[in-house]
């Protein structure tokens, strides 16, 4: 499951370095939240082990089998609220020289609404090596008496339920697709979600409108060929089980969006799930610009090729992958008219009513970013901080640590900043943060090392990354623990 697109995935890629073998343990972890009427919410975890990354031993039967020791700890603050430790076995196979099958483990944890952390520890039982340990935050927010939508679960395969089991939902056994990357050979995107309590707030005691669509992740523009709409009878739980044929969906970054509307066509609930598509069967070259009419458009303000190219380069932070292809491959060879057509079409796709106003507003922000974040070798919009600012807007708070008087990483520490957003991505996500760090004291270009925003690089061991960047792995263990805790305090309590 190689990730080849521009954004990193919100799943966890786990790699344990082994001294006994060049092969390393690889796994993917994802999760969703659901609710059971009169019982409350629960967390569902999906852990997929890559079969080829395991060490197999021969059984008395002559077949081979791998084994993983799994420990999961759910914490709320410093209190352990659930704990599981078990051994996970692969299927028995005859030959370890061929491609080995992956296998999936699913767990459910009954948990009330709140913020938690999930500590995962996995160990290849048949290999002498240290366990792989990660910790990820979990938010459960399914109110009891108001409308809400569960997590959106991607599905690998499904079948009618013959006997109730852990995979069963709404009469089907749903085998999870433990990734949000869909390669060329995946022609279907199958998903499952639940809508809770539409009756009290829908404004329609008989029907609600439930829809699902795919949109561009960057522009949030709905793709008209990928829309499902169904009128459902209001009831305590509405199950949405559907799929899209994505064989003609180009490579790119997308959101799968589930929306509930009342009879006044007002959005009363919405949930989005990020995914990536790689489709080598579909060309990603932008459509021909020759047909774009730019007469009387704002693009005619710019008749200098260098100015046009600079303006178009500044669009990178918010461009779709197809638009990126034009910027990266055709920008320098295109004539002035093509550049004008691209600039105009870019903003027309985002604001059909006032593309000129949308461009002018963005251009002002580019000027701010260039003034604040440009370096000797980069324009501000090409830096990580500039890209985040232009893509999401200014943060609500910034915790700036140019050096840590307490000595995070010796004295002085590497500079770092934590940007905090109250809401982000059209209010779909709340209380999100970005961590930027400089590898040297004098470097103005801070690198993004972690964010909990969908579609961004996620490294929940980012405090260790600060240590690695400074090259201070041999520091006193107590001091490291204390200073990582100080960085974590800044992150958890932004000001």
Q: Are 133 and 27 in contact (CB under 8 A)?
A: no
Three-point CA angle 179, 185, 186, nearest 5°? 45
224-262 tens-digit pLDDT: 999 999 998 888 899 999 999 999 999 999 999 999 998
Q: Which class is domain 181-283? A: mainly beta
191-218 tens-digit pLDDT: 999 999 886 544 445 688 999 999 999 8
Looking at every residue in the chain, the average pLDDT score rounds to: 85
Q: Is residue 37 very low, low, confident or very high in pLDDT (cuts 50, 70, 90)?
A: confident
Encoded tokens for 482: 């204390």
CATH classification of 1-142, choosing from 2.60.40.10, 3.30.70.270, 3.20.20.70, 2.40.30.10? 2.60.40.10
Other C-beta atoms lying within 10 Å of the C-beta of residue 386: 26
pLDDT of the residue at 492: 73
Q: Return the closest-CA partner of residue 365 out of 317, 325, 326.
A: 317
- Distance between CA atoms of 431 and 396, rounded to whole angstroms? 10
pLDDT of the residue at 410: 43
Residue 417, strand partner residues? 400, 436
75-128 tens-digit pLDDT: 998 899 999 999 999 999 998 888 888 999 999 999 999 999 999 999 999 987
In three-state secondary structure terms, 41 is strand
Q: Where exactly does CATH 2.60.40.10 map onto the chain?
A: 1-142
pLDDT of the residue at 404: 54
Q: Return the closest-CA partner of residue 33 out of 160, 193, 220, 215.
A: 193
Whether the pLDDT of residue 345 is over 70: the answer is yes
420-475 tens-digit pLDDT: 999 998 888 889 999 999 876 556 789 999 999 988 988 888 887 777 666 654 44
In three-state secondary structure terms, 168 is strand
Q: Where exactly does CATH 2.60.40.2550 map onto the chain?
A: 181-283
Q: Is residue 478 very low, low, confident or very high in pLDDT (cuts 50, 70, 90)?
A: low
Which range, 25-29, 39-43, 125-129, has the best average confidence (pLDDT)?
Answer: 39-43
- Distance between CA atoms of 139 and 148, rounded to whole angstroms? 14
Whether the pLDDT of residue 296 is over 70: the answer is yes
């Amino acid at each position: 499951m190689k990730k080849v697109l521009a954004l990193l995935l919100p799943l966890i890629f786990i790699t344990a370095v082994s001294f006994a073998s060049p092969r390393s343990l690889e796994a993917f972890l994802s999760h969703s939240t659901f609710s059971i009427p009169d019982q409350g919410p629960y967390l569902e975890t999906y852990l997929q082990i890559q079969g080829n990354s395991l060490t197999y031993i021969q059984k008395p039967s002559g077949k081979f089998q791998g084994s993983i020791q799994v420990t999961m700890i759910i914490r709320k603050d410093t209190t352990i609220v659930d704990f599981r430790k078990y051994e996970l076995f692969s299927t028995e196979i005859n030959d370890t020289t061929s491609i080995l099958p992956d296998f999936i483990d699913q767990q459910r944890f009954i948990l009330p609404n709140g913020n938690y952390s999930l500590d995962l520890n996995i160990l290849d039982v048949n290999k002498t090596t240290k366990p792989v340990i990660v910790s990820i935050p979990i938010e459960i927010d399914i109110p009891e008496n108001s409308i809400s939508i569960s997590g959106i679960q991607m599905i690998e395969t499904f079948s009618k339920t013959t006997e109730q089991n852990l995979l069963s939902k709404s009469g089907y056994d749903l085998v999870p697709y433990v990734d949000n990357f869909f390669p060329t050979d995946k022609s279907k995107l199958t998903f499952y979600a639940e809508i809770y309590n539409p009756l009290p707030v829908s404004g329609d005691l008989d029907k609600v409108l439930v829809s699902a669509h795919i949109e561009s992740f960057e522009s949030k523009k709905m793709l008209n060929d990928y829309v499902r709409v169904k009128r459902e009878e209001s009831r305590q739980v509405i199950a949405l089980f559907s799929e899209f044929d994505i064989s003609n969906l180009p490579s790119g970054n997308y959101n799968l969006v589930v929306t509930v509307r009342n009879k006044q066509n007002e959005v009363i609930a919405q949930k989005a799930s990020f995914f990536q598509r790689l489709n080598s069967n579909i060309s990603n070259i932008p459509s021909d610009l020759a047909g774009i009419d730019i007469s009387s458009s704002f693009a005619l303000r710019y008749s200098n090729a260098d100015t046009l190219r600079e303006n178009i380069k500044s669009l990178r932070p918010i461009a779709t992958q197809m638009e990126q292809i034009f910027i990266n491959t055709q920008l320098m060879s295109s004539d002035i008219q093509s550049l004008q057509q691209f600039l105009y079409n870019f903003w027309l796709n985002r604001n059909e009513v006032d593309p000129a106003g949308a461009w002018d507003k963005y251009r002002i922000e580019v000027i701010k970013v260039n003034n604040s974040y440009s370096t000797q070798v980069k324009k501000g919009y090409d830096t990580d901080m500039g890209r985040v600012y232009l893509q999401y807007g200014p943060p609500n708070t910034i915790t700036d640590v140019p050096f840590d008087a307490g000595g995070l990483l010796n004295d002085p520490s590497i500079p770092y900043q934590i940007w905090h957003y109250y809401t982000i991505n059209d209010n779909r996500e709340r209380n999100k943060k970005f961590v930027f760090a400089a590898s040297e004291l004098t470097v103005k270009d801070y690198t993004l090392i972690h964010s909990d925003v969908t579609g961004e690089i996620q490294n929940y061991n980012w405090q260790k990354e600060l240590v690695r960047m400074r090259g201070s792995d041999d520091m006193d263990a107590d001091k490291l623990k204390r200073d990582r805790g100080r960085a974590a305090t800044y992150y958890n309590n932004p000001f």
